Chain A
Amino acid sequence: MKIANRKVTAERLVRDALEKARHFADYNIFTFLNEEGAIKKAREIDARIAKGEKVGRLAGVPYALKDNFLSTEGQTTAAAHILEGFVSPVTATAVEKLEREGAIMIGRTNMDAFAHGSSTESSYYGPTLNAHDRERVAGGSSGGSAVAVALDIVEFATGTDTGGSIRQPASFNGVYGLKPTYGTISRYGVVAMASSTDCIGFFTKTPDDMNLLMEIANGQDPKDLTTLPDYYDESEAKKIKKIGIIKDFDNTSVDSEIRNALVSKVELARSKGYEVVEIEMPALKYALAAYYIIVPAEVASNLSRYDGVRYGFRAKDTKDLDALYKNTRGEGFMPENKRRIMVGNFVLSSGFYDAYFLKAAKARTLIVKEYEKAFEKCDVLLSPVTPNPAFKLGEKTNDPVAMYLEDAMTVPLNLAGVPGLTIPAGKTKDGVALGLQLIGPRRSDKSLIEFSKELV
């Protein structure tokens, strides 16, 4: 991605990216295009290169920023009405690190409001279209970012993954998408969805780009006490020998074309001398239920701050404080946001906490242990990302549970904090992109990225 010493200028790259973004405007990828800011930055970088100054590893590289990352450029809305007009005075740690290396944000990408959703249809700004099939969803919640990379508008895009929000849209659009080990990249300055499962990650076109971005963005941050001590740069990519296939996932509930894609990758691996073992992970069947208790609880809590008092949208003509809260939140949140707030408050309410939240927390512990056991038997798990390929726009919007079921294979990783990398795996006969995910033990992010090159 380096452009130093290249023939092309940063300004040319940025102008091309902006031009492509405008060209694909009907895909509804961006909530904000950083036209002036991006070109200004590109010129600064070109000037520095012309003077022979040292520039960063991402100098002049155009990228797209998911709209839930705080930066001082443009509004940060998380595609939510209630954050309309919010211009952040601070910048997320991850964004700072990218920009310090010279990356140039050309636009903010569309998403399900507050990252609640699996299709980007729950955005206040309307859905983003799939990069390869305009009748299908982009996936979500980081739909805009996945499509921006898949359509080659930018070199990379940021995403957040709370239950699959990077891996699933990466799969739906045929690009690489990494959810790192929990705590690898600082969450400071990223609109919180569920604090204990939120992960910052990226969409790229190649494993090497992913590795470079991880080298840049990883690291302990005093502003985020849940970040891990630095490990990424020091970690050696572990030589992977044994690949595990999860028995429970390879069943009839998974679409046949996805199963075929899995089988062909397994065969490719076997042909390269890798050992393939079947792993039973029965505890994973509790993951979806546990996830949809723990995450809504944290969601309800994290969304409490959006009350119309200090920033963002405030309902008009409210007669008292109660009405200010109710109308602001009533008008400002999307139906999916409200659903999760209600579920979350329900499972936390007195009398229900033990029956729901506490039980889910225990299930979570079982799931953590299930992965630990699995990685005693194999080095990496290869699994579908979703039971089905990208679905049609509007197909599941009226059936939240059907939508939640699409997350069954992504959420267990978030509960366990382990990393998952979506790799492209061809297309269906209808031309819909397919992906598979590589799952490793905590801190194996680099090994996953390295190993993914073997499966191309």
Chain B
Amino acid sequence: MKYIPTIGIECHVQLATKTKLFSEVDNDARNKEPNSCVSPVDYALPGMLPRLNGEAIKFAILAGKAMNCEINASSRFDRKHYFYPDSPKGYQITQFYHPIIGAGYVELPSGTKIRIEHAHLEGDAGKLTHFDTYSLVDLNRVDTPLIEIVSMPDIHSAKDAHDYCKELWRLMTFAGVSYGDLYNGNMRFDVNVSLAPEGSTELGTRAEIKNLNSFRSVERAAEYEIVRQSKLLDAGEKIIQETRGWSDDTGKTTGQRSKEEAKDYRYMPEPDLPPVNLSADFIQEVAEKLPLMPADYRRKFGDSLKTEILEILLDYPELIRKLSEVDEKYVVTVSNLFTSVLLAEEKSAEYLNDLPTAKQLNDLAKMNEKKELSSTATKEVFLHLFDPQMRRRDTEVIAKELGLIQENDLGALETIVDAVLAKPETQEAQADFRAGEEKVIGFLVGQVMKESHGKANPSAVQEILRKKLA
């Protein structure tokens, strides 16, 4: 039978605020000693009360606007109770029931719109590392602000699941609310998959795959689930509603033998935090700071750039932003330099942090256009725009210093050509060419290039040669 998969995704995004959601402790725990970014509030000493980080509220507004979402003027925190050493308070403070971010949508590169149900602000949990006979607790991550983005069941393929997650990542990094470092768990995905027979109006029983941390895993796990569930359904078996784990190594999901007791989180209004009431003016003031989003760039460059190039550039906010500063007529040249030269460099990640100025790039493209630089020379000068010794100089200065400017002066070129044609060692080749041996032209051009110390424009040289030897 043919089945229609339906995929819902919950995405946790760690917000890159300076301090934690409820305390004034450093929120960036990357490369820090365990339990070094923990205040008495995060540690849940007796008598400690949460304070609300205003920056997290602003980031939530930006994240919401990036997803075309309503921002709720009033939102509120609840306590969600559970006992585990990753939760020092014994509860998580969450806006699950009264979220700051309301309904909206994310548009995939294909144009498909995935609706957002809501997104809520909450504190992250700590991290446990298990050993044979003991476990270690690291509370650095406790109450790092998270937004949990809940999608509507609008995703129907593993590919769209991948694209949705990737687009979320782009939106969050473009909006500047998350470092977007998947390796360090800045974004994590819970993917639930269900199948329904084609034509059915009801959704099937779903299995949830928790804690995926790459787009590729999301796609593979969803793909695997679709196949697994199809086979079960074809065999007349039932799908169990369960949480399944994904292994990148085996490429399989497996049922997790969790205690199947129904969890009761005993939600309760958080009495230590007043409701978050935002004025329309405040929301607007924050929202106005939202930079251009991928959809804006698609509109801007959709006509001039190939889709593949554009989509690569959209993975690097710095590149697409820089490209926006470049003269419209040079966008193609510069985008090619970005995608085929810069991103191929070993140090490209480092380079992204300090890109050449728009003027340097415009000049470079212009010199290329005027054939003052060959395509090889253009790439070389481009890379030198990142050279610590040269980077601050004008493109032309760098090109000259490298001796890469092509000789386009026909008079000067003719003099060199004449000199080369007068040399005894070229006489045989000249005779051969006149006799119709086309390929020796290459040898002659090479001789001229040598004579010009590589500065001659080879196509101009060839033209002159052909004229002279005609």
Contact = CB atoms under 8 A, between A and B. Distances in A.
Contacts of A310: 43-44, 88
27 contacts: A68-B47, A76-B46, A90-B45, A90-B48, A187-B49, A189-B47, A189-B48, A191-B46, A191-B47, A196-B271, A222-B51, A224-B49, A225-B51, A225-B273, A226-B271, A226-B272, A297-B268, A298-B271, A301-B91, A305-B88, A309-B88, A310-B88, A345-B266, A349-B266, A350-B266, A353-B266, A357-B268
B441 interface: no
B274 A92 contact: no
B274 A226 contact: yes
What DSSP secondary structure best describes chain A's contact surface?
A: loop
A305 B89 contact: yes
A70 interface: yes
A89 B40 contact: yes
Interface string A55-69: 000000000000011
A90 B43 CA distance: 12
Nearest to A321: B85
A190 interface: yes
A223 B51 contact: yes
B46 A301 contact: no
A112 interface: no
A188 B23 CA distance: 13
Size category of the B interface is: 20 to 34
B81 interface: yes
A225 B40 CA distance: 16
B105 to A, nearest CB: 31
Contacts, number: 99
B90 interface: yes
Contacts of A309: 85, 88, 137
B183 interface: no
Contacts of A304: 81, 83, 89-91
Contact of B271 (A191, A195, A325): A195
Interface residues of A, number: 45
Interface of A: 68-70, 76, 78, 83, 86, 88-90, 92, 187-192, 194-196, 222-226, 297-298, 300-301, 303-307, 309-311, 321, 325, 345, 348-350, 353, 357
A337 to B, nearest CB: 14
Nearest to A312: B46
A192 B270 CA distance: 13
A384 B90 CA distance: 39
B264 interface: yes
Interface string B262-279: 001011100111100000
Given A187-B47, A307-B83, A307-B90, A225 B272 contact: yes
Contacts of B383: none
A348 B52 contact: no
Interface in B71-125: 79, 81, 83, 85, 88-91
Given A70-B46, A304-B81, A307-B90, A348 B268 contact: yes
Contacts of A303: 90
B92 to A, nearest CB: 11
B46 A188 contact: no
B275 to A, nearest CB: 11
A301 B264 contact: no
Interface string B37-70: 0001001111111111000000000000000000
A305 B90 contact: yes
B21 to A, nearest CB: 13
Contacts of B268: 297-298, 301, 348, 357
Nearest to A361: B269
Contact of A90 (B40, B88, B90, B274): B40
A291 to B, nearest CB: 14
A195 B47 contact: no
Contact of A195 (B40, B46, B272): B272
Contacts of B83: 304, 307, 325
Given A89-B40, A195-B271, A298-B268, 4 more contacts: A187-B49, A192-B46, A307-B85, A349-B266
Contacts of A226: 49, 271-272, 274
Nearest to B23: A223
